[in-house]
Amino acid sequence: MKASGPAGAPGRGGTDDGRPRLVVASVQGRKSLPADRVTDLERVSRATFLSRDHTLTAEEATALFADAEVLAITPKVSPVIDEDFLEALPNLRGICLHATGYDFVDPAALRRRGITLSTLPEYSTRSVAEQTLGLLLALSSRLHLANDRSRGLVHHGTSLRGFEIAGRTLGIIGCGRIGGTLARLAQALDMATIAYDIDPKPVPGVTYVTRDELFERSDVVTLHCPLPFDASPLVGHDEIRSMLPGAVLLNSSRAALVDDEAVIAAIRDGHLRGYAVDDELIGGPEVEDLLTEGRILQTGHSAWWTDEVLDRGSHMWADAIEAMLLGRPTAVVDPTVAPSDALAQ
């Protein structure tokens, strides 16, 4: 979507002094942004900063954002942004997410209402790639389980036997910013790197293969692809069963990319050696034994939670918000293209 002028232009719900109304909603509110950038935003908008430590219901959100022309929001606070939500916000013309992924946003609904969506595609690339490598090293060395055993949290006889990753093949689904960075890190540890992407970009040392070939050849499969709004899992029974016996699956994107029941069954019958996800499984008590045994490793969506990302992200978010207010939005999501199904043929 193209913005023809600043959000809040006359006739678009602007305030009396001509400045658009901005609502920023996050856990820390005003403190989510550098102090000097808050001043900048208040100069070009009528800004309201909301601090909330929970995901807002649609009812709460629409009441709080009723007059917003630009909404800046974090995933932790945001409700699902769909047709019903947007219908209650008639003045809204732009949304700035403090996130790279936007699986909780319906792009089609935005398109129908002419609302611009911007994201932060580069703020956490390195940290997520490094944490993904950490997940692999934890599974291969049983590091997380060794820690638990030394503290008496698991039986002293629990096996800590691992495997070396040197010489093994890493298959990357979605070789963009994060996937490409991970490829370089893995190559430094003597792993072979192959990838599948519907829009492949050259990455040194990476050989692109078909989707089926990637699952069949990889000792480790790692997911770095978006999840379309309201989509079914992209990795299900067939993909998992086509993986090498004893392979490992890594998921630093969203838990919903993977069919929980399929991955749990594959671990229980020994087809997969382990699964690491930077999120929470949809399942509950039925996976407690696999967590205790270290065969499933969960990190609760913490890959991006680093000093550098927090600092970099706050500045990038402020820049994106100001650009949206001034009618020059950056990193705009194309509403005519759904998030890529990186597993599509």
Residue with tokens 């030394």: 150
CATH superfamily of 21-123+307-325: NAD(P)-binding Rossmann-like Domain (3.40.50.720)
Residue 336 pLDDT:
66
Task: Please tell me if the domain spanning 21-123+307-325 has the same topology as the one spanning 125-298.
Answer: yes
Task: Choose the most confident range, by mean pLDDT, from 288-297, 300-309, 313-322, 327-336.
Answer: 313-322
CATH of domain 125-298: 3.40.50.720
Backbone angles phi, psi at 20, to 5 degrees: -70, 155
Look at 14-23, 95-104, 135-144 and tell me which has the smallest mean pLDDT.
14-23
> Quick one: how far is CA 182 from the chain centroid?
15
Residue with tokens 């499933």: 296
Distance CA 21, CA 90 (A): 13
Q: Distances from the Cα of 8 to the Cαs of 3, 109, 113, 194, in angstroms? A: 11, 20, 15, 47
Residue 285 pLDDT:
78
Residue closest to 93 by CA, chosen among 67, 123, 115, 66: 115
Residue 16 pLDDT:
64
CA quadruple 85, 89, 92, 97: dihedral sign? negative
Residue closest to 96 by CA, chosen among 87, 88, 105: 105
Domain-wise residue ranges, the chain: 21-123+307-325, 125-298
Given a cut of 60, whether residue 6 has pLDDT beyond it is no
pLDDT, tens digit, 9 for 90 and up, residues 113-140: 999 999 999 999 999 999 999 999 999 9
Residue closest to 340 by CA, chosen among 199, 235, 129, 211: 199
Residue 344 pLDDT:
40
What is the pTM for the complete model shown?
0.87
Taking the C-alpha atoms of 258, 264, 265 and 267 in order, what is their torsion angle to the nearest 10 degrees? 110
- Contacts for 206 with CB less than 8 Å, ≥ 6 apart: 172, 175, 180, 183, 193, 194, 195
Question: What mean pLDDT do residues 136-148 have?
Answer: 91
- Contacts for 75 with CB less than 8 Å, ≥ 6 apart: 97, 98, 99, 101, 104
What is the SS3 assignment for the chain? CCCCCCCCCCCCCCCCCCCCEEEEEECCHHHHCCHHHHHHHHHHCEEEEEECCCCCCHHHHHHHCCCCCEEEECCCCCCCECHHHHHCCCCCCEEEECCCCCCCECHHHHHHHCCEEECCCCCCHHHHHHHHHHHHHHHHHCHHHHHHHHCCCCCCCCCCCCCCCCCCEEEEECCCHHHHHHHHHHHHCCCEEEEECCCCCCCCCEEECCHHHHHHHCCEEEECCCCCCCCCCCECHHHHHCCCCCEEEEECCCHHHECHHHHHHHHHCCCEEEEEECCCCCCCHHHHHHHHCCCEEECCCCCCCCHHHHHHHHHHHHHHHHHHHCCCCCCECCCCCCCCCCCCC
Q: Are 70 and 44 contacting, i.e. CB atoms less than 8 angstroms apart? A: no
Distance CA 14, CA 293 (A): 57
pLDDT, tens digit, 9 for 90 and up, residues 83-98: 999 999 999 999 999 9
Higher pLDDT, 311 or 13: 311
Distance CA 238, CA 122 (A): 32
Residue 8 pLDDT:
42
